[in-house]
């Protein structure tokens, strides 16, 4: 939907030219969106993003009103057609604005879940690096090179970049990233690292203890997922597979007694209902999985 490429940057600037001044009085009502934009890693200011939301909603409203008025005009009187088109266009435009509003929150939540899934392994690796008494900058610079850590690599790279290129001290760089990360666990880790470094305590011991706690929590979530998976598989086998077989057999018997007419229903179950239901169960299991 929203990319950080040239096209979207150009679009955001165009929207800001039209509505930048108009939406400034509304900023105070969308301060939560500003935090979501930061946690989602979306490179837009609040004014730019609100301008895009308003501009897109207005364009949608105007175009939908014209198109729907023409379509409804084929079936209703002009006044009724215009009233219906305006009402429906307002609803659709409002939906578009709501999607803009909720999109950063959804992206932020997804990034937080991705971070939490790999955090135990990333902290274990940080603990191993810290045993060499390296600088904090080197810790985050090293882990940023491992792309398998996903969002953690990106946020670690941001910390290293702020220190190396922008000249921020370690404490400011790590606190800045802590306020922007969508993961509560990673935020606590960053604040803990900052406290340990500034107080001169043993960073390796802190990271090792933190890694042990996260690994234990990861094992607990794996066990819970295994239990949930067993329940889901039992439900799938009992309701879907056995239920479908029972229904097919029952309809076959009834069809034989009543003269047929059940092939269409059976075909729907076998070729459409069962595959779609199976895909649904796979998506549910994938969504609930704590593994990366």
- What pLDDT, in 10s, does the model give residues 39-56? 888 888 888 899 999 999
pLDDT at 173 over 60: yes
Tokens 């690599």 -> residue: 153
* pLDDT (tens digit per residue) in 16-39: 888 878 888 888 888 888 888 888
* pLDDT (tens digit per residue) in 219-254: 898 888 888 888 888 888 888 888 888 888 887 777
Same domain, 234 and 204: no
Residue 80: φ, ψ to 5°: -65, -40
pLDDT at 259 over 60: no
SS3 288: helix
12 lies in a domain? yes
* Average pLDDT, integer, range 154-164: 91
User: What is the reported pLDDT for 4?
Assistant: 41
Same domain, 181 and 198: yes
Same domain, 264 and 245: yes
Split into its structural domains, the chain has a count of 3
For the entire predicted model, the pTM comes to 0.74
User: What is the reported pLDDT for 63?
Assistant: 92
Do the beta carbons of residue 127 and residue 99 sit within 8 Å?
A: no
Helix (H) or strand (E) holding 39: helix 31-40
Measured distance CA(232)–CA(284) in Å, rounded: 9
Which of 76, 109, 142 is the last residue before a domain boundary?
109
Same domain, 249 and 281: yes
211 lies in a domain? yes
Which of 215, 230, 259 is the last residue before a domain boundary?
215
Same domain, 119 and 193: yes
pLDDT at 6 over 60: no
pLDDT at 130 over 90: no
Region at 167 (left for phi over 0; alpha for psi -120 to 50; beta for the rest): left
1 lies in a domain? no
Do the beta carbons of residue 72 and residue 41 sit within 8 Å?
A: no
Which of 72, 93, 109 is the last residue before a domain boundary?
109
Region at 259 (left for phi over 0; alpha for psi -120 to 50; beta for the rest): left
User: What is the reported pLDDT for 257?
Assistant: 66
Here the tokens at position 219 are: 């094992």
Same domain, 191 and 167: yes
Do the beta carbons of residue 43 and residue 12 sit within 8 Å?
A: no
**Residue 45: domain span:** 6-109
The Cα diameter of the chain in Å comes to 86
Same domain, 119 and 104: no
Q: How far is Cα of residue 33 from the mean position of the Cα atoms in its chain? A: 15
């Amino acid at each position: 939907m929203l990319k950080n490429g040239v096209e979207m940057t150009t679009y955001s600037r165009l929207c800001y030219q039209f509505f930048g001044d108009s939406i400034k009085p509304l900023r105070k009502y969308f301060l939560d969106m500003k935090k979501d934009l930061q946690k989602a890693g979306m490179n837009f200011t609040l004014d730019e993003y609100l301008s895009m939301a308003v501009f897109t909603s207005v364009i949608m409203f105007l175009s939908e009103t014209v198109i729907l008025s023409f379509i409804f005009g084929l079936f209703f009187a002009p006044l009724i057609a215009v009233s219906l088109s305006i009402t429906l266009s307002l609803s659709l435009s409002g939906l578009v604005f709501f999607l803009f509003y909720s999109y950063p929150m959804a992206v932020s939540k997804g990034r937080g879940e991705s971070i939490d899934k790999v955090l135990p392994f990333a902290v274990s690796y940080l603990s191993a690096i810290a045993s060499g008494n390296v600088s904090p900058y080197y810790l985050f610079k090293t882990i940023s090179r491992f792309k398998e850590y996903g969002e953690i690599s990106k946020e670690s790279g941001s910390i290293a970049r702020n220190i190396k290129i922008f000249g921020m001290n370690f404490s400011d760089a790590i606190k800045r990233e802590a306020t922007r990360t969508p993961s509560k666990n990673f935020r606590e880790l960053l604040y803990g690292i900052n406290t340990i470094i500034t107080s001169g305590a043993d960073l390796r011991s802190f990271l090792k203890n933190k890694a042990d706690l996260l690994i234990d929590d990861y094992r607990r979530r794996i066990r819970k997922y295994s239990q949930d998976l067993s329940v889901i598989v039992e439900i799938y086998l009992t309701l879907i597979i056995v239920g479908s077989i029972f229904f097919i057999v029952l309809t076959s018997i009834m069809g034989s007694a009543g003269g047929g007419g059940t092939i269409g229903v059976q075909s729907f179950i076998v070729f459409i209902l069962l595959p779609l239901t199976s895909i649904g169960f796979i998506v549910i299991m994938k969504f609930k999985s704590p593994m990366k």
